[in-house]
Structure 1
């Protein structure tokens, strides 16, 4: 069965039967959309609005120094009016044109205020730059078989009061014979960090009581298990909460492997982290 959560932690489930409301949550859609889509939407709206008013000016007439029937003159007069530029060469002289100019200038002022506010909200929205290891590993750690993965803060600042939670999603069969999807917490050796500035090795001991105890790659694959990770913390620069999510499928969990050491010493004696080896693993005993 296909995975239900993407590697970035987003749901891959297809919603069926839910009413579609394309205009019901525009603000959320704006904040979640990529910048290229935002810029394309603003540009299309700007050109479309000017084209609409240009057609209205052509129908109403009354634009001094504009050539009759020339769409380009009407379009560029609309651009000047919408942006309240007003070079003075072309101007409205009829009542209909004056009304259109009034409406368009109002649309321009309102639209500029709205777009400015939305762009600022998107700029001000804090985002996390967190690097997750491409795979998780299962190997001995301090004498205990453990599930491990790496996470690092790739931004130069610090994330204070960082908290990491790990869970496992899998299918199970109830006593009534019903197949259900359940989430189980996987406690970590260290689930909180006062200052998350460099890298963090998340370790879940696979001991009696753990939902991974006694599991094998085959049994996890049969239950379509996925490991879901969530990191939250307070960004010191914005003083706002940031979050990052990730998931590992069964095929992205390597058994009998451990991560290589990424701490190195520079020639001048300073300690450094070699992120080029962040995802590298090496063989390790399981038991």
Structure 2
């Protein structure tokens, strides 16, 4: 399944300015293999820190904390005699004095005694207020985000439904709660050339048999009928390949657990469309009349009977 543009997995890359471009006309993009599909511009650090995985957020905050305290420790070294009971020339003593100041822990046997050291303490105390406020705000913003746990099928199938070719994909909620007022949209994006010979990338919204569900708790098979009104009518795989077709799907709803709107999306290339296939069933019945879902077969398909 193709990732949503521009979220493509690629190795770390640095984009250098071309000749004639000023420094403010380019930016650094990066992506690291194994970190899912995230990258951002360094000029947008807020979005970067909101979207990177938690472990890398903690690593970055730890680096910020130690680098900042290390910088102040170097400044304290120039006036180490202004710190009572500190060993002269000891970076460790200056570093821990900085940690005490930054964290407002309070001083024990070490405390400032000179004007230079008190000025640094005042400056670090101010920086610590801003730093703690920013880190707390970022952590709260990350915790308050509504992250969807929606599972999209790896492929899209086309098979007859009521004697009409129908395109189908499958979605499921991976959490044990309900998504209320769920809505889904399906779009077809491909290359077109107008009658005047102008090339452009066009997006068609595909009409669905049902694009709304009051509650999404188990699975949902999304269906688009390929009839005379569909842009996919009488289109074969070679046409989709030539036009570089891409299916885009987006789902929104209200997460009942936190009462916030959530969004999820996925995309499919022409090679992800399986003709004359159907999804394997994932809903099973127990002997006592209950139903359960086995998501281990969620992505599996099989050819339809002739």
The TM-score range, normalised by the shorter chain, is over 0.9
Q: Greater RCO between the two (CA within 8 Å, min separation 6)? A: 1
Of 74, 81, 85, the match for 1:55: 74
Deviates more, 1:119-128 or 1:266-275: 266-275
Pairing 1:46-125 to 2, within 5 Å after superposition: 46-61=65-80, 62-125=82-145
CA distance in 1, matches of 2:25, 2:305: 52
The question of 1:206 aligning with 2:201 is answered: no
CA RMSD of aligned residues (A): 2.1
- Deviation readout 1:65-106 (Å, 9 max, x if unpaired): 111111111111111111111241111111111111111122
The question of 1:38 aligning with 2:44 is answered: no
Of 4, 8, 28, the match for 1:9: 4
Classify 1:253/1:23 alpha carbon distance in 2 versus 1 (closer, same or farther; 3 Å).
closer
Pairing 1:1-287 to 2, within 5 Å after superposition: 7-11=2-6, 19-20=25-26, 24-61=43-80, 62-284=82-304
Equivalent pair of 1:188/1:202 in contact (CA under 8 Å): yes
For residue 11 of structure 1, give the secondary structure of its aligned residue in structure 2.
coil
* Deviation (angstroms), 1:27: 2.1
* Deviation (angstroms), 1:273: 1.2
Classify 1:12/1:116 alpha carbon distance in 2 versus 1 (closer, same or farther; 3 Å).
closer
CA distance in 2, matches of 1:7, 1:239: 31
Deviates more, 1:173-182 or 1:244-253: 173-182
Equivalent pair of 1:258/1:283 in contact (CA under 8 Å): yes
Moved runs in structure 1, 4+ residues, more than 6 A? Answer: 13-18
For residue 190 of structure 1, give the secondary structure of its aligned residue in structure 2.
coil
Equivalent pair of 1:163/1:233 in contact (CA under 8 Å): yes
Equivalent pair of 1:8/1:245 in contact (CA under 8 Å): no
CA distance in 1, matches of 2:248, 2:6: 11
Equivalent pair of 1:161/1:234 in contact (CA under 8 Å): yes
* Deviation (angstroms), 1:264: 0.6
Equivalent pair of 1:139/1:285 in contact (CA under 8 Å): no
Equivalent pair of 1:169/1:228 in contact (CA under 8 Å): yes
For residue 69 of structure 1, give the secondary structure of its aligned residue in structure 2.
coil
* Deviation (angstroms), 1:32: 1.8
CA distance in 2, matches of 1:95, 1:227: 66
Gaps of 5+ in 2: 28-40
For residue 176 of structure 2, give the secondary structure of its aligned residue in structure 1.
coil
Aligned residue number for residue 3 of structure 1:
none
Q: TM-score, normalised by structure 1?
A: 0.92
Aligned residue number for residue 35 of structure 2:
none
Equivalent pair of 2:249/2:266 in contact (CA under 8 Å): yes
Q: TM-score, normalised by structure 2?
A: 0.87
For residue 287 of structure 2, give the secondary structure of its aligned residue in structure 1.
coil
Gaps of 5+ in 1: 1-5
